[in-house]
Amino acid sequence: MLIRKEDSLLLIIDVQERTVPQTEAPREVINNCAHLVSISKELEVPSIITEHNPKAQGKTIIDIRLAAGEEKSYQEKEELSCWLNEKIKQSITESGKRQIIVCGVETHINVLQTAVDLQTAGYEVFVVANACSSRENLQHIYALQRLSHNDVEIVSYEMVVYEWLRTSSSEQYKEITGKYIL
């Protein structure tokens, strides 16, 4: 199945000041998440950004906060799976979107549990492999394998962007690919 921007919601999980620097690929995760949130704004794809225990783990990393804009609110949680947090669950449900694009940290914990819970709840779930990471690369790889075995689609940052765009004839295509595809 392909990603459809009109039916998508972007979910960025816990890319925070104290957690993301500990991961295997922090700069790639930060850049790709920041680009995805910027592009989602331009294409009018809604997004949710979560923060796990921000008092202990810090705020969402500045690059993503700047890309999301000052008007963006962040959903705090204690649960590992975002789907177990009633406020986040309500936001996802009320969006009316059926495709959830998931990225963040850590792949083998919060991302995995959230994606599997969303899949079980009947959503089409896409985990952006190069916008996720864990402290150990092996944990990241195992999580991606497990997600795939649970019918979660594993995609790349560029797959999401080009599937959202769908045609090269639009002004948005030229603008977005010129700014965000390196």
pLDDT (tens digit per residue) in 19-56: 999 999 999 999 999 999 999 999 999 999 999 999 99
Mean pLDDT over each residue of the chain, to the nearest integer: 96
DSSP 8-state class, residue 25: S
> CA–CA separation, 176 vs 165, rounded Å?
9
With a cut of 70, say whether residue 15 has pLDDT above it: yes
Q: Which CATH architecture has domain 5-180?
A: 3-Layer(aba) Sandwich (3.40)
pTM of the predicted structure, to 2 decimals: 0.96
pLDDT classification of 139: cutoffs 50, 70, 90: very high
- Average of pLDDT values for 53-72? 94
pLDDT (tens digit per residue) in 67-120: 999 888 899 999 999 999 999 999 999 999 999 999 999 999 999 999 999 999
Where along the chain do its domains lie? Answer: 5-180
With a cut of 80, say whether residue 182 has pLDDT above it: no
Task: Say what the pLDDT of residue 180 is.
Answer: 85
With a cut of 60, say whether residue 131 has pLDDT above it: yes
Task: Say what the pLDDT of residue 181 is.
Answer: 82
3-state secondary structure 38-91: HHHHHCCCCEEEEEECHHHHCCECHHHHHHHCCCCCEEEECCCCHHHCHHHHHH
Task: Say what the pLDDT of residue 73 is.
Answer: 86
- Average of pLDDT values for 2-27? 96
